[in-house]
């Protein structure tokens, strides 16, 4: 199956190098190249690429601004000359963070990770399965999570939110945190969707721990939890919130 990508970088030489490296991947098609953030938002929403090569520092909108504005969740590979944004990049569930000047071996490793995630993550298939589930399906009330050398019997209702971190999931409860080796999509399958709502590809919240929803002037939303934590709502998943608005 063909994989599409968009390249976003204000430097022509950087875009040319990415295009050159991608010549070794006949299965990947470049559907757009952009030099500005505003142009990138338009092209990403139009083409909905599988992979996004994204520079951080650009005039006007930076790379993180672009991610906040798009209504599509591609697999993001950041390409930048600055290493200080790495933590924030992985908080955005980035596949990889490549420092300029780009090394071809590191580039290939990043692309391989993106292609692997595309293959293994079920995405819309999972959503279709959820929609086809019989209404009387029983969801898990307890799960076992590991911490140190112990397995804790965790009531699912105690979970406040779940955050994807690469191939792992960080589970936050009212009083503790756990790291699960299961991906966030797998955990989503066993939880009641009336209680646990996905607000972003990398975030699931317990609606019983939700304090309020803040709407921004640009149409975006942010959910604020009772413990003070806030999460942006991806436009892809905003419908889950809107369905509960009366």
- How many Å apart are CA 234 and CA 212, to the nearest integer? 16
Q: Which residue has the higher pLDDT, 244 or 129?
A: 244
Domain count, the chain: 2
Residues 140 and 210 in one domain: yes
pLDDT at 128 over 50: no
Residues 19 and 113 in one domain: yes
Band of pLDDT at residue 219, cut at 50, 70 and 90 = low
Secondary structure letter of residue 243 according to DSSP: T
Q: What is the pLDDT of residue 124?
A: 47
> Is residue 30 a part of any domain in this protein?
yes
> Is residue 19 a part of any domain in this protein?
yes
Tokens at 193, concatenated: 């969707």
DSSP 17-41: HHHHHHTT-TTEEEEEEESSHHHHH
CATH number, domain at 20? 3.40.50.2300
pLDDT at 130 over 60: no
pLDDT at 85 over 70: yes
CATH number, domain at 148? 2.40.50.1020
Residues 104 and 146 in one domain: no
Residues 62 and 95 in one domain: yes
pLDDT at 48 over 80: yes
Residues 137 and 116 in one domain: no
Secondary structure letter of residue 235 according to DSSP: T
Single out the residue in 120, 152, 169 at which a domain terminates: 120
- How many Å apart are CA 206 and CA 197, to the nearest integer? 6
Residues 158 and 102 in one domain: no
Band of pLDDT at residue 82, cut at 50, 70 and 90 = confident
- What is the pLDDT of the chain when averaged over all its residues? 87
Residues 156 and 213 in one domain: yes
> Is residue 100 a part of any domain in this protein?
yes
> Is residue 183 a part of any domain in this protein?
yes
Residues 161 and 199 in one domain: yes
pLDDT at 217 over 80: no
> Is residue 128 a part of any domain in this protein?
no
Q: What is the pLDDT of residue 241?
A: 78
> What Å distances lie between residue 207 and 153, 164, 188, CA to CA?
21, 18, 14
Residue range of the domain that includes 212: 133-242
Span 219-244, average pLDDT: 84
Residues 9 and 111 in one domain: yes
Q: What is the pLDDT of residue 129?
A: 47
Residues 151 and 218 in one domain: yes
> Is residue 112 a part of any domain in this protein?
yes
Single out the residue in 86, 120, 154 at which a domain terminates: 120
Q: What is the pLDDT of residue 29?
A: 96
Band of pLDDT at residue 236, cut at 50, 70 and 90 = confident
Q: What is the pLDDT of residue 218?
A: 63
Q: Could you count the other beta carbons within 10 Å of the beta carbon of residue 21?
A: 16
Single out the residue in 83, 98, 120 at which a domain terminates: 120
Band of pLDDT at residue 164, cut at 50, 70 and 90 = very high
> Is residue 148 a part of any domain in this protein?
yes
DSSP 131-177: HHS-TTPPPPSEEEEEETTEEEEEEGGGEEEEEEETTEEEEEESS-E
> What Å distances lie between residue 242 and 125, 196, 218, 245, CA to CA?
22, 15, 16, 5
DSSP 205-231: EEGGGEEEEEE-TTS-EEEEETTS-EE
Least confident segment among 3-7, 77-81, 143-147 = 143-147
Q: What is the pLDDT of residue 17?
A: 96
Residues 93, 113 contacting (CB under 8 angstroms)? no
Q: What is the pLDDT of residue 173?
A: 95
Residues 150 and 114 in one domain: no
Least confident segment among 16-20, 43-47, 171-175, 212-216 = 212-216
Q: What is the pLDDT of residue 187?
A: 92
Q: What is the pLDDT of residue 87?
A: 79
> Is residue 125 a part of any domain in this protein?
no
Residues 102 and 173 in one domain: no
């Amino acid at each position: 199956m063909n994989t599409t990508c968009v390249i976003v970088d204000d430097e022509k030489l950087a875009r040319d190098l990415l295009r050159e490296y991608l010549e070794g991947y006949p299965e990947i098609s470049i559907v757009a190249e952009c030099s500005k953030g505003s142009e990138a938002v338009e092209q990403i929403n139009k083409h909905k690429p599988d992979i996004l090569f994204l520079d951080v520092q650009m005039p006007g909108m930076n790379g993180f601004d672009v991610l906040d504005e798009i209504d599509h969740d591609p697999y993001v590979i950041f390409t930048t000359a600055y290493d200080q944004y790495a933590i924030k990049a992985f908080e955005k569930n980035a596949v990889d963070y490549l420092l300029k000047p780009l090394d071809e071996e590191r580039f290939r490793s990043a692309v391989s990770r993106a292609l692997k995630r595309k293959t293994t993550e079920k995405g819309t298939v999972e959503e279709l399965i959820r929609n086809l589930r019989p209404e009387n399906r029983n969801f898990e009330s307890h799960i076992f999570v590991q911490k140190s050398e112990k397995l804790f019997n965790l009531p699912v209702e105690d979970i406040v939110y779940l955050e994807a971190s690469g191939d792992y999931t960080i589970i936050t409860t009212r009083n503790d945190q756990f790291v699960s080796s299961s991906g966030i999509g797998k955990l989503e399958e066993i939880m009641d969707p009336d209680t646990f709502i996905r607000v972003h590809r990398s975030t699931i919240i317990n609606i019983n721990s939700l304090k309020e929803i803040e709407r921004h002037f640009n149409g975006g939303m942010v959910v604020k939890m009772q413990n003070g934590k806030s999460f942006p709502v991806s436009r892809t998943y905003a419908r889950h919130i809107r369905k509960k608005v009366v």
